[in-house]
């Protein structure tokens, strides 16, 4: 209590002594009038700098003062701004104050004055304003000539969104001054007769090279301008944070925002400075990061301020933290993995820790095919380990681990990764197998299909598939085959025995559990009625009636490409209690028919076909039109047939066919409808509603008319649009009858002609032989007998030969009668061997005529005119003579031929039949007796001989009308 | 001294290839020695004509590229901002003797070369992304350098003229950005017109 009384007295004494000191020093008020030392101006940046002092301050005295500055424009009375501010003034110190004018200093004059007031606790007695200082002028003079236009300020720099005033100064001769920002006119405000100002509000950033502001005088076409540099607004750094990995360096990062740099060196990129308040250190940084060295290990708390600055603005952001709370660990190292077996692996790693006292949290991830399949967190100090279980064999994994401070979690370290693969194991699942059985030539063609094992079930690369066909009836006939992967089907040819098929998949380690298919003698492809179903885009709903209760499973199969010959068999295994399923597949296409078969796999017995179902996911109009054949064309009808049209491969269920018929009269009969086609043509339409009917007869047609027809199939969606019309013309009504009569007649005539031609030789020889043989002419004989029963053989004695030469060969003499005809004849009673051109013929014992040639010139020169009369007359003149019988035959044959073959007066060249021996080549039958000329006669070559080639005798005796050479070998 | 500022001096040093070449060159007295740094090409006049044709052919594209890069209002106010109304441009008389024409050509090319150096320097700062313009300016400057060398060779070899007084345009270093753009545009507008006359004169 006594101590407090003493303390109170001491405080009062001190207070009294202070008041006494104040009264002593400031007994009288002191005038503290600021005195302006200098007013300076700068054009770039536009600025007024006011320098002032307080002259009446005591030596080394410091005072806190409030100052007021008044600014006038153009004239002192036009005060535009009053600025108040507080500062501490010192004795003998020049104070500075800067001010940025709104209108450039080149365009207007400014006036400033200042006054002050002590605002210090030490000067309680004086609290009023001092007197004003004198007015000071602030202005930048420009040299302005009468014909000048100038624009100010030069190259101003402003921030986007701010306002700026640009002024134009012009000489006395300039009045109409217009200004533009880029090409946009800017309205101005005239301050006086020589100054206009242009206010640009909320300026926008155009480009970093500046925006042109341009003024010109309309009177004198003088111009000037400036480049306005608009800077983007400096943004506050975002996401500013600092962290350490090693407690030696703090790495601070942030997002800097837009770059505010401008070209023309108007403004460099903003700079960033990092300031730490506890240590007082400062560091200039990069644009988005800064490394801060930790120099004092004892400092645990840091308070950072990041300052971003450009010419126009300063932004700052601060962060304060404890060093241990900003630990960003380095990634774990020495990561290793030990493969224990096909499903287990052990991972170990080490961490960058400050010691065993620090607990770290580590996160472990196991990735398979870029997907995280396992994640776990563990606490560690210096190192950690983890055991991966339940891995898949033959699989590549990536194990990753990262760590963070467990006490003050800041962020995870980077991942440390290690890739490893587990070894292969035997396939773990039996193959899903199905089959197609076909019978062929008493054998069964079994096509097996199987689905490849999934990677998780294959446990390694499948190398081959083993198939064992075990013959249940004859075990010795079992088969085995191995199909190399990646095949997924194979074909077996089996007999009709029961078989058990064992199918396994094999990799390098072992085989899968076997799949067993039983093939009984019955194929399982029982005939069942096919049911139609309607599919949707999502697939087909298949349902069936179960046949028995003892079922292992049901299998629904179908071909993915039903229109192809090769069936890409698909199947679905279903449980025993299933009676419906939805079959969906991306391969299903609209307009394709899919046939489904539902099989029952019984516990005992063969596979049983339960149902067949067929349908479309979406029916379409038929794409193919029937190929139509026409037949039975009559004058009133014709028949169309399209038997080859495969309706089961169309884009929908064929519901029928439409027959279109076009004709000129366009009259549709009963049953036909008149329809308008898409091409606006009208035709008759007949609807065949039975899709199985593929033949149709078009009736009631008109003869000799043109008809166009088309047959189009249709489904529930519509009919085929690609069909084309074909033309058919009905024949004449009578042509049918004509055909019925004329054709047989023509055939008969033709037959007769063929027969006649075929028997012409016989007829000729019989009726009109070249050498008539009365004894053989059975046809003419009766006639002749009837006319003159006594005259059967021409009587030689009735003939008066003109010239006759008889050659008696046997006597070796030759009788030559030389007369007008010079006809050479030879007695051929006994002919010597006749050399001919054909050796095969050899000596010919027969009578033959050779080269009975008439010289053409001889005929031309009427050589035959020397013949006194017709040859028959000549022959008749031979009558008194009695030539040998052989010779008469010869003459008669040869000369009759020549006469009948040519009318001598008309024909210039006459060919005469020539008889040769029919026994040519048959030497054995040669005979010297010549009474049977007919049996051994034949026609030999006939030729026209030019005069030069005629025999000398003929040439010499050109008046000969004919020549008979008998025995060519004889020298003539 | 502004004339000899940073843009002109390096160019002159390059153009004249020797120490002290920045000073104006008077016409050499007839009996003065005339030496060139490199041997002159045999067919100088053809080379000069070809170089003039080359400059004439590229002048319009350079002019268009320039005023386009400056932005509005330059493209739409060519008569006001880029008119060929430069007062200090060296004269050229197409009807003079070859010697007189060569001397005037020398002055012209020296003037243009120095001014284009300034323009190139300014544009690289003012329009740093206008690479096509920079390329055209550099190509024109290079051609002028060769032309100046050839003209000097011709004057020296045939007319024994080793020095010619030259003048330079105003240095733009101290000007504001708009004035630099405008002066460059005026220079290139004038250049486009003059080079056409000069090319026809030879």
Does A224 contact B at CB distance below 8 Å?
Answer: yes
Q: Which of A226, A264, A266, A269 best probes binding to B when mutated, by most B CB atoms within 10 angstroms?
A: A264
pLDDT exceeding 70 applies to what percent of chain A?
A: 73
Select the highest-mean-pLDDT range: A730-744, A764-778, A787-801, A829-843: A730-744
Does B60 contact A at CB distance below 8 Å?
Answer: no
Cβ separation of B125 and A182 shorter than 8 Å?
no
* pLDDT for residue A24 is more than 70: no
Select the highest-mean-pLDDT range: A349-353, A371-375, A493-497, A929-933: A371-375
Q: Which of A150, A184, A209, A223 best probes binding to B when mutated, by most B CB atoms within 10 angstroms?
A: A209
Nearest to A225 among B79, B125, B178 (CB): B178
Does A210 contact B at CB distance below 8 Å?
Answer: yes
Q: Which residue of B has its CA nearest to A182?
A: B72
Does A205 contact B at CB distance below 8 Å?
Answer: no
Cβ separation of B126 and A264 shorter than 8 Å?
yes
What pLDDT does residue B30 have? 45
Does B72 contact A at CB distance below 8 Å?
Answer: yes
What pLDDT does residue B37 have? 65
**A881 CB-contact burial (10 Å; exposed 0-12 / middle 13-18 / buried 19+):** middle
* pLDDT for residue A1 is more than 50: no
List alpha helices for A225-334, DSSP H.
Answer: none
Query: Which one is predicted more confidently, A637 or A735?
Result: A637
What pLDDT does residue A752 have? 86
Give the separation between CA A645 and CA A627, rounded to whole angstroms.
Answer: 7
3-state secondary structure of A174: coil
What pLDDT does residue B45 have? 87
For A491-514, the pLDDT digits (tens) are 999 888 888 899 999 999 999 999
- What residues of B are in contact with residue A154 (Cβ under 8 Å)? 176
Give the separation between CA A283 and CA A385, rounded to whole angstroms.
Answer: 43
For B143-157, the pLDDT digits (tens) are 999 999 888 888 888
Does B131 contact A at CB distance below 8 Å?
Answer: no
- A152–chain B nearest CA distance, Å: 11
- What residues of A are in contact with residue B172 (Cβ under 8 Å)? none
* pLDDT for residue A571 is more than 50: yes
**B147 CB-contact burial (10 Å; exposed 0-12 / middle 13-18 / buried 19+):** buried
Nearest to A226 among B73, B126, B176 (CB): B176
Does A390 contact B at CB distance below 8 Å?
Answer: no
* pLDDT for residue A835 is more than 60: no
pLDDT grade for B165, boundaries at 50, 70 and 90: confident
Cβ contact A197:A166 at 8 Å: yes
pLDDT grade for A843, boundaries at 50, 70 and 90: very low
* pLDDT for residue A737 is more than 60: yes
* pLDDT for residue A846 is more than 50: no
In A262-281, the residues whose Cβ lies within 8 Å of chain B are 263-265
- What residues of B are in contact with residue A226 (Cβ under 8 Å)? 176-178
User: Does the ipTM exceed 0.90?
Assistant: no
Q: Do β-strands A499-506 and A580-583 pair in parallel, antiparallel, or remain unpaired? A: unpaired
Cβ contact A43:A101 at 8 Å: no
pLDDT grade for A29, boundaries at 50, 70 and 90: low
Nearest to A212 among B71, B79, B129 (CB): B71
Peptide bond into A506 cis (omega under 30): no
Does B101 contact A at CB distance below 8 Å?
Answer: no
Does B68 contact A at CB distance below 8 Å?
Answer: no
In A145-204, the residues whose Cβ lies within 8 Å of chain B are 151, 154-155, 180, 182-183
* pLDDT for residue A911 is more than 60: no
H/E element, A873: helix A871-876
- A270–chain B nearest CA distance, Å: 18
Q: What is the pLDDT averaged over residues A889-909?
A: 38
Cβ separation of A227 and B76 shorter than 8 Å?
no
What pLDDT does residue A270 have? 93
A187-201, A364-378, A582-596, A922-936: least confidently modelled range: A922-936
With CA atoms as reference, report the closest residue to A242 among A200, A305, A181, A185: A305
Strands of A383-388's sheet in order across: A333-339, A345-350, A383-388
For B4-36, the pLDDT digits (tens) are 444 444 444 344 433 333 334 445 444 446 766
A114-128, A551-565, A951-965: least confidently modelled range: A951-965
List alpha helices for A344-468, DSSP H.
Answer: 455-458
- What residues of B are in contact with residue A224 (Cβ under 8 Å)? 178
What pLDDT does residue A378 have? 94
Q: Which residue of B has its CA nearest to A264?
A: B126
- Please enumerate in sequence order all residues whose Cβ is within 8 A of that of A549, keeping only pairs 6 or more positions apart, or say none: none
pLDDT grade for B138, boundaries at 50, 70 and 90: very high
Give the separation between CA A31 and CA A161, rounded to whole angstroms.
Answer: 45
A424-428, A605-609, A777-781, B33-37: least confidently modelled range: A777-781
Nearest to B73 among A154, A180, A207 (CB): A180
Nearest to A154 among B79, B80, B176 (CB): B176
* pLDDT for residue B127 is more than 60: yes
pLDDT grade for A788, boundaries at 50, 70 and 90: low
With CA atoms as reference, report the closest residue to A894 among A772, A762, A763: A772
* pLDDT for residue A949 is more than 50: no
- What residues of A are in contact with residue B176 (Cβ under 8 Å)? 154-155, 226-227
- What residues of B are in contact with residue A262 (Cβ under 8 Å)? none
- B68–chain A nearest CA distance, Å: 13
What pLDDT does residue A143 have? 83
- A403–chain B nearest CA distance, Å: 47
What pLDDT does residue A201 have? 93
Strands of A443-451's sheet in order across: A432-440, A443-451, A489-494
Q: What is the pLDDT averaged over residues A939-960?
A: 39
pLDDT exceeding 90 applies to what percent of chain A?
A: 35
Does A259 contact B at CB distance below 8 Å?
Answer: no
Cβ separation of A209 and B126 shorter than 8 Å?
yes
Query: Which one is predicted more confidently, A433 or A524?
Result: A433
What pLDDT does residue A21 have? 44
Nearest to A155 among B73, B125, B176 (CB): B176
3-state secondary structure of A882: coil
- What residues of A are in contact with residue B71 (Cβ under 8 Å)? 182, 207, 209, 211-212
- B121–chain A nearest CA distance, Å: 11
pLDDT grade for A838, boundaries at 50, 70 and 90: very low
Query: Which one is predicted more confidently, A145 or A598?
Result: A598
Q: What is the pLDDT averaged over residues A654-670?
A: 87
Number of A to B CB contacts under 8 A, please give it.
Answer: 62
Nearest to A182 among B71, B128, B182 (CB): B71
Query: Which one is predicted more confidently, A839 or A54?
Result: A54
* pLDDT for residue A31 is more than 80: no
Cβ separation of A212 and B178 shorter than 8 Å?
yes
Nearest to A183 among B70, B73, B176 (CB): B73
Q: Do β-strands A638-641 and A695-698 pair in parallel, antiparallel, or remain unpaired? A: antiparallel
Average pLDDT, chain A: 77
pLDDT grade for A850, boundaries at 50, 70 and 90: very low
What pLDDT does residue A803 have? 57
Angle between helices B8-16 and B131-159 (to 10 degrees): 40
**Span between the terminal Cα atoms of chain B, in Å:** 35
- What residues of A are in contact with residue B129 (Cβ under 8 Å)? 209
- A173–chain B nearest CA distance, Å: 18
Locate B70 and state its tokens. 């400056």
H/E element, A876: helix A871-876
For A393-450, the pLDDT digits (tens) are 999 999 999 999 888 899 999 999 999 999 999 999 999 999 888 888 888 888 899 9
Does B85 contact A at CB distance below 8 Å?
Answer: no
Does B127 contact A at CB distance below 8 Å?
Answer: yes
- What residues of A are in contact with residue B74 (Cβ under 8 Å)? 212
Nearest to B127 among A209, A224, A225 (CB): A209
* pLDDT for residue A914 is more than 70: no
Cβ separation of A212 and B181 shorter than 8 Å?
yes
pLDDT exceeding 90 applies to what percent of chain B?
A: 33
DSSP-derived secondary structure letter, A659: E
What pLDDT does residue A9 have? 45
- What residues of B are in contact with residue A155 (Cβ under 8 Å)? 176-178
Q: Which of A177, A186, A223 best probes binding to B when mutated, by most B CB atoms within 10 angstroms?
A: A223
Does B77 contact A at CB distance below 8 Å?
Answer: yes
Q: What per-residue string of b and e applies to A253-292 under the rule 16 or more CB within 10 Å gives b?
A: ebebbeebebbbebbeebebbbbbeeeeeeeebeeeebeb
Cβ separation of B177 and A207 shorter than 8 Å?
no
CA A373 vs CA A331, A369, A397, B134: distances in Å: 21, 9, 10, 59
Locate B107 and state its tokens. 């002055």
Q: Which residue of B has its CA nearest to A225?
A: B178
Query: Which one is predicted more confidently, A712 or A441?
Result: A712
pTM of the model: 0.52
* pLDDT for residue A289 is more than 80: yes
């Amino acid at each position: 209590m006594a101590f407090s009384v003493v303390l109170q007295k001491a405080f009062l004494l001190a207070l009294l002594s202070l008041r006494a000191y104040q009264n002593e020093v400031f007994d009288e008020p002191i005038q503290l009038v600021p005195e302006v030392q200098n007013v300076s101006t700068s054009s770039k940046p536009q600025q007024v700098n006011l320098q002032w002092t307080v002259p009446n301050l005591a030596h080394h005295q410091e005072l806190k003062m409030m100052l007021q500055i008044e600014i006038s424009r153009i004239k002192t009375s036009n005060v535009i701004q009053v600025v108040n501010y507080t500062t501490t003034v010192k004795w003998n110190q020049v104070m500075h104050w800067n001010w940025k004018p709104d209108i450039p200093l080149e365009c207007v004059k400014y006036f400033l004055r200042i006054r002050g007031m002590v605002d210090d606790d030490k000067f309680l007695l004086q609290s009023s304003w001092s007197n004003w200082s004198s007015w000071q002028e602030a202005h930048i003079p420009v040299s302005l000539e009468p014909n000048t236009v100038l624009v100010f300020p030069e190259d101003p720099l402003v921030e986007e969104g701010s306002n700026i005033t640009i002024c134009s100064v012009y000489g006395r001769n300039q009045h109409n001054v217009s200004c533009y920002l880029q090409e946009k006119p800017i309205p101005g405000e005239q301050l006086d007769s020589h100054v206009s100002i242009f206010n640009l509000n909320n300026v926008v950033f155009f480009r970093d090279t500046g925006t042109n502001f341009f003024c010109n005088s309309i009177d004198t076409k003088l111009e000037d301008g400036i480049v306005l540099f608009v800077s983007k607004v400096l943004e506050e750094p975002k996401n500013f944070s600092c962290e350490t990995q090693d407690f030696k360096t703090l790495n601070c990062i942030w997002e800097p925002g837009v770059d505010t740099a401008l070209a023309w060196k108007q403004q460099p990129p903003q700079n960033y400075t990092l300031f730490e308040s506890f240590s007082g250190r400062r560091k200039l940084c990069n644009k988005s990061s800064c490394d801060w060295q930790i120099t004092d290990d004892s400092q645990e708390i840091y308070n950072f301020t990041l300052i971003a600055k450009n010419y126009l603005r300063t932004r700052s952001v601060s962060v304060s933290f404890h060093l241990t709370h900003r630990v960003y660990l380095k990634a774990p190292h020495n990561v290793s993995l030990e493969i224990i077996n096909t499903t287990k692996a052990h991972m170990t790693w080490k961490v960058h820790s400050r010691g065993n006292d620090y607990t770290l949290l580590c996160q472990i991830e196991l990735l398979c095919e870029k997907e995280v399949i396992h994640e776990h967190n563990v606490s560690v100090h210096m190192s950690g380990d983890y055991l991966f279980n339940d891995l898949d064999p033959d699989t590549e994994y990536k194990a990753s681990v990262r760590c963070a401070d467990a006490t003050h979690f800041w962020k995870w370290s980077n991942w440390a990764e290690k890739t490893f693969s587990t070894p292969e194991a035997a396939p773990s699942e039996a193959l899903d197998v199905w089959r197609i059985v076909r019978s062929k030539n008493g054998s069964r063609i079994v096509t097996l299909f199987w689905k490849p094992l999934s990677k998780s079930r294959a446990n390694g690369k499948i190398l081959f598939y083993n198939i064992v066909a075990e013959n249940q009836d004859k075990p010795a006939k079992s088969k085995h085959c191995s199909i190399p992967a990646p095949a997924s089907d194979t074909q077996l040819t089996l007999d009709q025995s029961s078989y058990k098929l064992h199918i396994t998949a094999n990799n390098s380690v072992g085989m899968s559990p076997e799949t067993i298919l039983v093939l009984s003698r019955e194929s399982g492809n029982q005939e069942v009625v096919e049911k139609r179903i309607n599919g949707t885009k999502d697939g087909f709903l298949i349902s069936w009636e179960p046949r028995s209760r003892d079922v292992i499973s049901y299998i629904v199969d179908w071909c993915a490409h039903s229109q192809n010959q090769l069936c890409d068999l698909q199947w679905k295994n279903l449980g025993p209690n299933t009676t419906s399923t939805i079959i969906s597949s991306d391969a299903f296409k609209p307009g394709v028919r899919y046939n489904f078969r539902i099989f029952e796999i019984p516990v005992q017995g063969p596979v049983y076909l339960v149902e067949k179902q067929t349908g479309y996911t979406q029916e379409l109009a038929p794409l193919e039109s029937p190929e139509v054949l026409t037949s039975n064309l009559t004058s009133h009808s014709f028949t169309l047939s399209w038997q080859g049209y495969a309706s089961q491969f169309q884009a929908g269920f064929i519901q029928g066919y439409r027959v279109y018929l076009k004709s000129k009269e366009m009259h549709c009969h009963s049953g036909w409808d008149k329809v308008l086609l898409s091409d606006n043509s009208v035709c008759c339409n007949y609807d065949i509603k039975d899709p199985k009917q593929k033949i149709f007869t078009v009736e009631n047609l008109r003869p000799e008319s043109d008809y166009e027809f088309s047959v189009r199939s249709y489904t529930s969606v519509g009919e085929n649009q690609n069909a084309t019309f074909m033309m058919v013309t009905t024949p004449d009504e009578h042509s049918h009858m004509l055909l019925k009569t004329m054709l047989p007649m023509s055939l008969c005539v033709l037959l007769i002609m063929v027969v006649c031609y075929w028997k012409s030789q016989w007829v000729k020889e019989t009726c009109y032989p070249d050498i008539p043989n009365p004894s053989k002419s059975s046809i003419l004989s009766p006639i002749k007998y009837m006319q003159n029963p006594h005259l059967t053989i021409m009587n030689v004695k009735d003939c008066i030969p003109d010239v006759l030469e008889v050659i008696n060969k046997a006597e070796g003499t030759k009788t030559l009668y030389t007369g007008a005809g010079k006809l050479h004849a030879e007695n051929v009673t006994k002919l010597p061997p006749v050399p001919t051109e054909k050796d095969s013929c050899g000596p010919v014992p027969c009578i033959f005529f050779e080269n009975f040639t008439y010289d053409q010139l001889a005929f031309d020169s009427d050589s035959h005119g020397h013949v006194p009369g017709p040859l028959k007359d000549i022959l008749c003149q031979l009558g008194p003579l009695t030539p040998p019988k052989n010779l008469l035959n010869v003459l008669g044959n040869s000369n009759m031929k020549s006469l009948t073959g040519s009318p001598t007066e008309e024909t210039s060249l006459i060919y005469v039949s020539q008889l040769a021996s029919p026994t040519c080549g048959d030497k054995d039958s040669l005979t010297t007796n010549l009474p049977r000329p007919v049996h051994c006669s034949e026609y030999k070559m006939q030729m026209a001989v030019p005069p030069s080639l005629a025999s000398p005798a003929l040439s010499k005796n050109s008046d000969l009308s004919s020549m008979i050479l008998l025995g060519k070998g004889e020298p003539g | 001294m502004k004339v000899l500022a940073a843009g002109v001096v390096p160019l002159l040093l390059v153009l004249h290839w020797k120490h002290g070449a920045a000073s104006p060159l008077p016409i050499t007295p007839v009996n003065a020695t005339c030496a060139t740094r490199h041997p002159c090409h045999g067919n100088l006049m053809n080379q000069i004509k070809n170089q003039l044709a080359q400059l004439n052919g590229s002048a319009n594209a350079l002019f268009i590229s320039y005023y386009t890069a400056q932005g509005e209002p330059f493209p739409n106010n060519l008569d006001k901002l880029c008119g060929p109304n430069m007062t200090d441009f060296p004269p050229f008389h197409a009807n003079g003797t070859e010697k007189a024409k060569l001397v005037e050509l020398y002055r012209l090319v020296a003037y243009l070369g120095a001014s284009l150096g300034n323009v190139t320097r300014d544009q690289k700062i003012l329009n740093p992304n206008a690479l096509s313009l920079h390329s055209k300016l550099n190509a024109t400057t290079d051609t002028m350098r060769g032309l100046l060398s050839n003209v000097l060779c011709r004057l020296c070899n045939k007319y024994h003229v080793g020095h010619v007084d030259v003048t330079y345009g105003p240095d733009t270093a101290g000007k504001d950005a708009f004035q630099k753009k405008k002066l460059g545009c005026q220079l290139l507008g004038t250049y486009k017109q003059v080079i056409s006359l000069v090319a026809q004169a030879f």
